[in-house]
Amino acid sequence: MRVRSGAYTRRRKKDVFKLAKGYYGKLGSAYRQAKQQVLRSLKFQYIDRKDRKGVFRRLWITRINAAVRQLGLKYSEFIFLLKTANVKLDRKILAYLAVEEPKVFSKIVEFVKSFSDKKNKNSIQTSL
């Protein structure tokens, strides 16, 4: 007996055309082109989901840098001082505070600066 795959083929094509809805010209109406374009778009979606993490990290760093420079520090110095002061705030939280709560952010910067000043005084006294 011959095996017919009409129902399966129809369902598969329907799924591809559903994903290709809105594509221009044959890319949305011809099965072969639609399938290729859908695979291509799924590949780009996967890549961009991975890239989004780096994009947001760069955005947070830019926001923190802009806010910290207004308060007289560089981004790299600020991050170093945060680590030495053992402050456990990540870049996402710091960027949020810099944009939405500038007073709180400036208090954090002042704390970090004062912590570095205390450390510098202690190191000068021990070297004498």
Q: 77 lies in which domain range?
A: 6-127
**Residue 17: in which H helix or E strand, if any?**
helix 6-19
- CA angle, 63 then 65 then 71, to 5°: 110
Q: 64-102 as b/e, with b when 16 or more CB fall inside 10 Å?
A: bbebbeebebebeebbebbeebeeeeebeebbebbeeee
**Residue 99: in which H helix or E strand, if any?**
helix 91-100
**DSSP secondary-structure letter at 30?**
S
Q: Cβ–Cβ contacts within 10 Å for residue 3, how many?
A: 4
Could you tell me if residue 1 is inside a domain?
no
Q: How far apart are alpha carbons 46 and 48 in whole angstroms?
A: 6
Predicted local distance difference test score (pLDDT) of residue 121: 62
Q: How far apart are alpha carbons 75 and 95 in whole angstroms?
A: 12
Structural domain count, the chain? 1
- Output the domain CATH number for residue 88: 1.10.1900.20
Could you tell me if residue 118 is inside a domain?
yes
For the chain (length 128 residues), average pLDDT per consecutive 10?
88 96 95 97 98 98 97 94 92 97 95 80 54
- Phi-psi region at 90: left, alpha or beta (left = phi > 0; alpha = psi -120 to 50): beta
Could you tell me if residue 83 is inside a domain?
yes
Predicted local distance difference test score (pLDDT) of residue 1: 82
Could you tell me if residue 80 is inside a domain?
yes
Position of tokens 């949020």?
Answer: 96
Report pTM.
0.76
Could you tell me if residue 51 is inside a domain?
yes
